[in-house]
Amino acid sequence: MGNCVRSQAAEAIARYAARDVIEAESAGIRPLGFIDKTTQSVLLARGISMEGQKSKGLHAHSLLNPDLTINMSGVPGESLFGHRRFEDWHVPDPFGEDVETHSRICDDIEARVLDLAARLRSAESFPQGGK
């Protein structure tokens, strides 16, 4: 929603671990304009940088024609993305929670990003709509 935790973590992880198949850029429905400090520290402890990332909305110029949108907002993707390809990832929002919670959510996001990268590398086709 606020583009300060989950999607920012996914973007950083994808840039770190899957840049060969994912050109990641995150956005939010209602961007808060900052990246959560706890999320930054959890990723930095893993050796993953968020350098160059910023909180932005869905209508940023660079996001107009994505090949695939990963939706972690909790809002069903059909209502947000229409006929574009998307996947709904049901990931709890750790905003305001402790480091352990952020780390657990980061583990979940990392596993999902790595799975997506593996599917892309194997040229698996994506279904229209969400998971």
Question: Rounded to whole angstroms, how far apart are CA atoms 77 and 51?
Answer: 28
Instruction: Render pLDDT for 25-35 as a digit per residue (tens, 0 to 9).
Output: 998 888 898 99
pTM: 0.87
Single-letter amino acid, residue 105? I
Question: What is the pLDDT, as a whole number, of residue 125?
Answer: 53
Instruction: Render pLDDT for 79-108 as a digit per residue (tens, 0 to 9).
Output: 888 778 999 999 999 999 999 999 999 999
Question: What is the pLDDT, as a whole number, of residue 83?
Answer: 77
Nearest to 76 by CA among 29, 6, 122: 29
Q: Can you name the residues that pair with 28 across neighbouring β-strands?
A: 57
